A and B are shown apart, each in its own frame.
Chain A
Amino acid sequence: MRWLLLKDLQILRRSPLQAVLLVAYPVLIAILVGFAISRDPGKPRVAFLNEVPRNARISVGGAQLPAVGVGGRICRRIECVDVGSRREAIEEVRSGGVLAALILPADLVDQLNSLSTPSPGTPTVEVIVNQEDPVKARLVNDRISSLLARANLLIARRIATEGGRYLDLVVNGGRFSVLGQPVEILGLGAGARILQALRPALPPGPLRSSIDQVIRFATLARDNLDIAAPLIDRLAQPIVVEKRVVNASTPPLDVFAIAVAATLTLTFVTVLLVAGSLALEREENAFPRLTRGLVSRSALLGEKVGLGVAVGLMVTLLMLAAVQLFVPLHWSRFGLWLTAILAAAGALGAAGAALGAAAREVRAVSLLAFMISLPIAFLSLIPSGAVGPVLFDAIEVVTALFPFKPALEAISAALDPAGPSIGGPLLHLAILTVAYGLIARFALRRFAAA
């Protein structure tokens, strides 16, 4: 078997371009995919036109609120490209220089202020998007909607805070400034107390009854408006999110990204190498000559899987060593890494052997390996809840039949010190190794007869 292994390595060495592609391409793709799923989408570039006058303020009850700074806050969450006019904004969107344009019209604050008048207007902001790409359009819609929801929340909170202050003045009294002049507000509580003090001085009769009514109203109003203040505050954000983690086994995003990158690398290197080298025996017509008594079919399969495991392990470890430059890894868990990678490579190699035994040519088998591995890898990354339950169950079944997902789980668990047990994924991989090994062995019988 070692002579066959040596021969395969000689063939790999003879095809440096193929060898580099076999190693470099999966590593590159794996790193890109890993980092793509672990990083924020980044700040989208949005053309921003703020036509609201600088001194415009939202007012409540005739008093102006301090500047909310919505424009500044928006530009913290997106990359604002300042434009001077609507036409310029539209041109930027059309040319693709920005994802969208957001225009705050000059009358926005007036419209907001009109909400507390008998004839309320509709405060509106204008969003210009380019719908040529549905994915991009959805991203922009989600981003802009989220930004506006935040802006609305901010304004509502300011209004609620100011409203609460005025309500407090009405209930408890205090100082208030009107046109720069301080005004002393008595408040319902103090008013009721004054009336209470005056009441004994009044003779029984209709006037005293009226005073009693006013005292009752003031007391009732004070007691109930005390409750109204926090209610107004809550109106600004009626629902509060309380996050509770029920499955604490999820690895940190960086670790998960590295696990995805490592598993993708291992998958492509191992599956392609095993499938390709097995198909090469057929393409070179060497298979019948070898299995006439020189090598048993099981030994040939073992050699191919061994080749895939050895090269896959080496490339994956090199990739992890390179990743270490950017993200610290727990090298103290190296034994677990090795276990996970070897188990994963074994199952992936067996799957590659089954694929290799099914095709006649190296090119066909390489295509087949890509066609199966890539979609399975992407399906394995779909989180629960992202699709309907029936579809997710179907995805779970499909991904459980290929070693990518258990390999990812095993490598994630090996990389993450706080991760779940590695036992389950290792058992899953062992079962798949045996199953694919048997399929490959059976397919080799056809391989020779064909």
Chain B
Amino acid sequence: MEGAATAALEARGLVKRYGEREALKGVDFAAQPGELLAVIGPNGAGKTTLLSILAGIVRADEGEVRLPRGEVGWVPQQAALYRRLTVEENLLLFARLEGHDDPRASVEKMLELTALGERRGEIVARLSGGNQQRVNIAIGLLARPVVLLLDEPSAGLDPRQRARLWEFVSALAERGTTVIFSTHDIQEAERYGERLLVLADGESLFDGPPQGLREAVRREAPEAASRDFETAFVAFLHHRGH
């Protein structure tokens, strides 16, 4: 596997079965430090299952995940925080549970990083979806992760909130955090992902840069090559039997 020796995270032959159904069919990939990797595919492709296995929430039936240098931060699709607590109380709780030496200082840092300082005393339930997602990500970052896993982070956000979110996530990657995010929005994956991992029915169909996917689409579904990328991508999946 290319660059596996220096990878921040490496997955080999991941298989997950739910009864008779195979949700993942031997997925391999590696993510480099500071890389923004987008996992894309239609609903039911296995994106959340893959991220849950990487996060250690779900155990793979076969295969292994290697994480040579440190923690994985996990940000689930639905905000995993206490809506009746304030922003600060949520951050303080998880900082304490993460065992930070100075939890209050970590909270201040996160509030600064997420630009939620002015909202620190607000009950989370009263925050907008975008701000809730920022708190959600901030909690994921409290683990001081080398790799941050984001499961459909922009779902339910309006365009302005999305733009803010991606600005924030891109800044994290620039600081060296490997960010692996799942999405079914092809345009979003192409715009923000440095590398794309295409999944369909648990199978890995493509692993490479966005431009490489465009070329693969053009090559395998020439009839749709002149149309928009999303239509061409659907044709590509169809050609691959999905």
Q: How far is the CA of A448 from the CA of B82 in the complex (A)?
A: 18
Q: Which of B85, B97, B98 contacts A14 (CB 8 A)?
A: B85
Check if A292 sits within 8 Å of B84, measured CB to CB. no
Which residues in chain B, 49-88, are within 8 Å of chain A measured between CB atoms? 52, 55-58, 74, 76, 78-85
Which of B74, B80, B89, B139 is in CB contact (< 8 Å) with A10? B89
Please name the residue on chain B nearest to A15 by beta carbon: B84
User: Which residues from chain A contact B139 at a C-beta distance below 8 Å?
Assistant: 289
| A289 B93 Cβ-Cβ under 8 A | no
Q: From residue B106, how far is it (CB to closest CB) to chain A in Å?
A: 14
A247 to B66, CA, bound (A): 68
Contact flag A292-B56 (CB < 8 Å), given A3-B93, A10-B89: yes
Report the Cα distance A294→B58, complex, angstroms: 16
- Chain B, interface size category, equals 20 to 34
- Given known pairs A14-B123, A288-B57, A292-B57, the reply for A3 and B82 (CB within 8 Å) is no
Contact A7 B85 (CB under 8 A): yes
Instruction: Give complex CA distance A448, B58 in Å.
Output: 8
Q: Which of A1-44 contact B (CB under 8 A)?
A: 3-4, 6-7, 10-11, 14-15
Cβ of A332 within 8 Å of any chain B Cβ, yes or no, is no
Task: Please determine whether A284 and B57 come into contact, CB atoms closer than 8 angstroms.
Answer: no
Say if the beta carbon of B25 comes within 8 Å of chain A. no
Q: Does A239 contact B (CB under 8 A)?
A: no
**Residues in chain A near residue B123, CB distance under 8 A:** 14
B166 within 8 A of A: no
B96 within 8 A of A: yes
Whether the pair A11, B80 counts as a contact (CB closer than 8 A) is no
Are A7 and B82 in contact (CB-based, < 8 A)?
yes
Main secondary structure of the interface of B (DSSP, over half): loop
Partner pick for A11 among B52, B79, B82, B98, CB 8 A cutoff? B82
Is there a chain A Cβ closer than 8 Å to B206's Cβ? Answer: no
- Assembled-state Cα–Cα distance A15/B85 (Å): 10
| Cβ-based interface call for A180 (8 A) | no
CB B144 to nearest CB in A, in angstroms, measures: 13
Closest B residue to A8 using CB positions:
B82
Partner of B74, one of A15, A289, A449: A289
Count of chain A residues with a beta carbon within 8 Å of a chain B beta carbon: 20
- In the complex, the answer to whether A289 meets B84 with C-beta atoms within 8 Å is no
List of A residues within 8 angstroms of B55 by Cβ:
288, 292
Known contacts: A7-B93, A295-B97. The answer to whether A289 contacts B76 by CB under 8 A is yes
Contact check: which of A284, A292, A294 meets B82 at CB < 8 Å?
A284
Given A448-B57, A449-B58, is A284 in contact with B80 using a C-beta cutoff of 8 Å?
yes
Contact between B84 and A11 (Cβ–Cβ < 8 Å)?
A: yes
Asked if A63 is at the interface of the complex by the 8 Å CB criterion, the answer is no
Which chain B residue has the least Cβ–Cβ distance from A449?
Answer: B58
Q: Which of B87-145 contact A (CB under 8 A)?
A: 89, 93-94, 96-98, 123, 139
Tell me, yes or no, whether A182 is within 8 Å of chain B by CB.
Answer: no
CA distance in complex: A288, B85 (Å): 18
Decide: A286 and B97 in contact? CB cutoff 8 A.
no
Q: Does A221 contact B (CB under 8 A)?
A: no
CB distance from B36 to the nearest CB of A (A): 22
User: B interface vs A, CB < 8 Å?
Assistant: 52, 55-58, 74, 76, 78-85, 89, 93-94, 96-98, 123, 139
Task: Name A's B-contacting residues (CB within 8 A).
Answer: 3-4, 6-7, 10-11, 14-15, 284-286, 288-290, 292-295, 448-449
Question: What are 8 contact pairs spanning A and B, CB under 8 A?
Answer: A6-B93, A7-B85, A7-B89, A11-B82, A11-B85, A14-B85, A285-B78, A288-B55
Interface contacts beyond A11-B84, A11-B85, A14-B85: sample of 7 additional A-B pairs, CB < 8 Å, sorted by A: A4-B97, A10-B89, A14-B84, A285-B80, A285-B81, A286-B80, A286-B82
**Across chains A and B, which 6 residue pairs bring their CB atoms closest together, nearest first?**
A285-B80, A294-B97, A289-B80, A14-B84, A3-B96, A288-B57
